[in-house]
Amino acid sequence: MPKQRTNFRDRHGHGAFPNETPLRVGVQSSLRSFLSGDPVPYPPVVGPVTLALDISKWQEDIDFDVMAERVQAVWIKADQGLWTDDRFEQNARDALDAGLEVGFYHFADPAQSCSPEQAAVHCHNLTSGLGHLSVWLDAERAGRFIGDPNGLLNYYIRWCDKFRTLQPDRKIDIYTRMSFWNSSVARSSYWMDNGVNLNAARYHLGLQSPWSDGRYTPRDWNFALNEFHLWQYSADGNGLGAWFGCQSGSVDLNLFSGDWAAFEQYYGLTGTPEPPEPPIGETQKYARILVDGLRFRADTNTNAPIYFTKPAGYEFRVLEEIPSGSDVWLKTGVDQYCARVYRGTEYCEVFER
């Protein structure tokens, strides 16, 4: 069983000071672990909460059947700028197959040269039609907007506005740590006005909410309405990866403010219909890449920005075939294309199934 801890640090080394975690929290956690056989410690939150995880390639191999025995919901890293997380496809498929409720997160990376709209389209193309939980905008890197809080605010708002036009029924959350948000992002009423909730990152087991000690309070949200929506209270160093089926030593733990019934209601899970079976005999077009490094672009020309490349053998769904002179392009998502035939070379074959 993983070693239980009562004090955590995140991937950046931020965390609680040793004298901030009351002894009683450690005693409570130890007693709970002894009685239940569950090594997961909880902060002394008043009222019901629901535990959920978030994962990425850093969790390496995951046994999602084990994970589904411990929690009912997980958020999966989809991409970073225009880079798809190495484990995204496998994690999404296996989590859904295990019966977990699934959401995703996009690591906002303004260091990349793409626009926030391009990044939002990339995230949409990966996550459209998958899962019912929110998509997080992971806000913890200023990139080219270091020292420019208004520029960074504009980047985040543009991403959210674009993503909302693509997936209007999907909730958006901001994941951030207060020390970054308050110093790097300009003030705005956008988040409250547009119903963007907060997942606060603060690694401290002695608190009833991320800011119940009066420290690290984030700006721009009205906390009189709710002490917290989501709270990532434990990350690197907690030693709980194996307990949740992960190959990694640790895994990120998040609390939702409310019981499972409230969780279901908030995310619209109650009575969610099963996706309809395709009509008998109806097929979909797919393509299989024939060469290594096929480029997926923002338009049907070789000057368009490259979203990502895929190796030979990779298969994907085709939305439309687009002739362009002697060339043929394939539409694979919103503003996302690749060449089927270009200058006489066949880059992928199309088939039905």
CATH number, domain with residue 171: 3.20.20.80
Q: Which residue, 236, 267, 298, sits at the end of a domain?
A: 267
Q: Does residue 12 lie within any of the structural domains?
A: no
pLDDT band at 1 (very low <50, low <70, confident <90, very high): very low
Q: Which long-range contacts does 213-218 make (Cβ < 8 Å, 24+ apart)?
A: 213/20, 216/177, 216/178, 216/179, 217/178, 218/176, 218/178, 218/181, 218/182
Residue 197 · residue 263 · CB < 8 Å: no
CATH number, domain with residue 322: 2.30.30
Please state the domain count of the chain. Answer: 2
Residue 181 sits in the same domain as residue 300:
no
Residue 220 sits in the same domain as residue 100:
yes
Residue 170 sits in the same domain as residue 312:
no
- Residues spanned by the domain of 325: 285-352
Whether the per-residue pLDDT at 146 is higher than 80: the answer is yes
DSSP string, 101-148: EEEEEEE--TTSSS-HHHHHHHHHHHHTTS-SS-EEEE----GGGTT-
Above pLDDT 70, what percent of the chain? Answer: 85
Does the pTM exceed 0.85? no
Q: Does residue 198 lie within any of the structural domains?
A: yes
Q: Does residue 298 lie within any of the structural domains?
A: yes
Residue 305 sits in the same domain as residue 226:
no
Q: Does residue 103 lie within any of the structural domains?
A: yes
Write out the two tokens for 349.
Answer: 């074959």
Residue 113 sits in the same domain as residue 222:
yes
Q: At what angle do helices 116-127 and 149-166 cross, to 10 degrees?
A: 40
Range among 30-39, 152-161, 292-301 rated most confident: 152-161
Q: Does residue 278 lie within any of the structural domains?
A: no
pLDDT digits (tens, 9 = 90+) for 250-263: 999 999 999 999 99
Q: Does residue 272 lie within any of the structural domains?
A: no
Q: How many CB atoms lie within 10 A of CB 184?
A: 19
